[in-house]
Structure 1
Amino acid sequence: MNEKHAKSALTYLSALMMVSTLMCSSTNNYNSDSEDQIIPVNPEYFIEEGLLEPITKVEYQLSDGTTALCYKIVTNSTPTDHQMGPWCPTHLDDGADKGGIWMEGGKIYDVDGAFIKNLSTFYKDAKWKLYQEDGTINITDSKEACEAAARPDVDPAYYNYCVQCLPSYTESIKQVFYIPITPMAAPPPTDQNNHRPSAAHAVRGDRPRRGQGGPPGGGGGASIIGIAFNGVNFDPPAPTADILKHYTLAPLDDSGGHINPHAGYHYHAATGNTKKIKQKDVHAAMIGYAMDGYGLFELLDEKDQEPVGLDELRGHYDKVRGYHYHVGPAGGNKFINGFKGKTGGYTATFQ
């Protein structure tokens, strides 16, 4: 090969290598947004007493159809770091300590007797009346009543009732979470129902088995949002419109949770009562993992400041925590707006 041809070949090879490098670099940037710090799930963060069996590693099919090594986490939806309830006050004279909280318009309201009495004014609808003439509040006081009210087509007998389901109704529940050990970005990001933007029939994750699945349970999402360190799941938005249109109220307790007879105790708000992993800097504390393996952190940091630079999913990146989410305000009825990564799965069954 003469010198001219050798130089041409060398130039061509160099250009080819540069294009190849750029393509690989572009692909990596697209998948990780130049975020090179990926933090794996830490099983030691979970409270051992909240587990039905030790956490194990298993191969599991993710939301995009690929298979990855996941942590299998088995719980019974019972928190060990705080008490459950109360939810519904029993009398109009009861104070805030006898009831839970309600989310409306981005705010949290104490569900005390005065709040129950004022519902017709609060919602500007005279049909609201959850109490008797003697001040006794109508409450679902049995499993049968709970099941009749906790469904999309609420039994008319339970219109104008405060709906609460007790822990004893779901004692035999078994929940299994499959969470990718190492988070894997899945561009474009999915919404919290695992739908990709502009893709009406995108691949979905496992749907919670909710039976009838109405109020006071979670939303109709294709996946739960994540898991707290106590083993309780963070649920999609509560279907408050369905709850309210039947003149029912399904309060959360002060920890942001309530019970669905088909899915057990779960959270719709982060109120600061669950186990948290404090950070060495002023960053907000960690409270769990999303179903794609990225960390879930509180809204406010140690200086009571909200995070800056969040993306549309409520996440951002730093070199200490990698990509992670910050949950929304407790009154917003939404933890995050979607998933950056490929999600694992979840099932709830009764033994």
Structure 2
Amino acid sequence: MHLNQHLLPALGLAASLAMPTVLSAHADEHSVQDTALASPSTIVECTLENGDAAKCANYVVKYLPDNLEIGPFCPATLDDAGGIWHWDGDEAGLYRIDSDFLRMLDEQGYTFFNEAGEVYSFDIRIEGPTEANECIAGSVDPEVEMTVLIPANPVMADEPTSLGTVSQVGIGLDGVPIFGDAPSGLDTGHMPALDVCGGHVDPGGWYHWHATATDVNGVFETEGVDAECVNVEQDQTAQFGYAFDGLAMFGTLNYDGSVPDPAGYCAAMAREGG
């Protein structure tokens, strides 16, 4: 996710990166599904990053929505297929974490398995790696709750804010937090695997998205990846969530199935005072 928006997030939350196809209703206490909530949503007083007082939707979400199944992440052996990963070394691209991918990494000097074909992995919430290259999994912590503030009325910022690795982006309508790109495996030698819907468990024990889960199968088709997200309903035109600046986030296609025109969107925003 590398687009910029000129909007102000609530104080303490990072700016978002999203390009909606149409503007939807602003976030309110009914925007996030009930199965994700630890307590009822409310509208509260909040402060934007420019210091202005505002109203925000206040969501207290669980570590994982009740009705969301997650995984797989790391395969146990070379005979298994795990989740997905965007490799940014030689032969960069989106891959299913399987024997072909792991053997390709081995040829590049990153060995994630032993002679018996067992894949090295560790649970980042409770332990550290013991090998130079390991697949990172994480176990959930059911005690975790998070409070998320989304401005009810987006306000245009003076300048765009670029998002870095694992920047806070927003929250899905399903109540799952959304983050920017996951860390590169080249930095540590380890691979924080995503499941086939584009999410994984944080070291703190809560699940979050690094992809537009409602649109990920279209990405697999485009990239030629043998994977399918079956745990999240797919719709490339649907709203996915709200960014931390309060703007709605959608899939890759307009409501009529056409491809969005970034230049046209930016021009429309400029005409509205952005």
What does 1:214-225 correspond to in 2, within 5 Å? 219=166, 221=167, 224-225=168-169
> What's the RMSD between the two structures over aligned residues?
3.3
Residue among 19, 25, 36 paired with 1:50:
36
What does 1:1-351 correspond to in 2, within 5 Å? 39-94=25-80, 96=81, 99-104=82-87, 107-121=93-107, 125-126=108-109, 128-141=110-123, 143-145=125-127, 148-149=128-129, 157-167=130-140, 170-192=141-163, 219=166, 221=167, 224-240=168-184, 243-262=185-204, 264-272=206-214, 284-301=237-254, 305-310=258-263, 317=268
Does the aligned pair in 2 maintain the 1:77–1:231 contact within 8 Å? no
| Deviation, structure 1 residue 305 | 3.9
- Distance between the aligned counterparts of 1:316 and 1:174, measured in 2? 39
- The amino acid that maps onto 1:144 is I
| Deviation, structure 1 residue 246 | 2.7
How big is each residue's C-alpha offset from its partner over 1:134-153, in whole Å with a ceiling of 9 and x where there is no partner? Answer: 111111157432xx25xxxx
Does the aligned pair in 1 maintain the 2:106–2:112 contact within 8 Å? no
Taking structure 2 as the reference length, the TM-score comes to 0.74
- Distance between the aligned counterparts of 2:234 and 2:123, measured in 1? 37
| Deviation, structure 1 residue 112 | 1.4
- Distance between the aligned counterparts of 1:277 and 1:131, measured in 2? 33
Does the aligned pair in 2 maintain the 1:81–1:230 contact within 8 Å? no
Residues paired across the two proteins, number: 235
Does the aligned pair in 2 maintain the 1:165–1:260 contact within 8 Å? yes
Taking structure 1 as the reference length, the TM-score comes to 0.59
3-state SS of paired residue (2:39): coil
Residue segments in structure 2 that go unaligned for 5+ positions in a row: 1-5, 8-22, 215-228
With over 3 angstroms needed to count, the CA separation of the structure-2 counterparts of 1:142 and 1:270, relative to structure 1, is: closer
- Distance between the aligned counterparts of 1:180 and 1:87, measured in 2? 33
- The amino acid that maps onto 2:26 is P
Does the aligned pair in 1 maintain the 2:125–2:204 contact within 8 Å? no
With over 3 angstroms needed to count, the CA separation of the structure-2 counterparts of 1:253 and 1:315, relative to structure 1, is: farther
3-state SS of paired residue (1:188): coil
- Higher-Rg structure is 1
Identity %: 28
* Equivalent in the alignment of 2:226: none
Does the aligned pair in 2 maintain the 1:62–1:68 contact within 8 Å? yes
| Deviation, structure 1 residue 316 | 7.3
How big is each residue's C-alpha offset from its partner over 1:239-265, in whole Å with a ceiling of 9 and x where there is no partner? Answer: 21xx32332111100111111222621
With over 3 angstroms needed to count, the CA separation of the structure-2 counterparts of 1:70 and 1:50, relative to structure 1, is: same
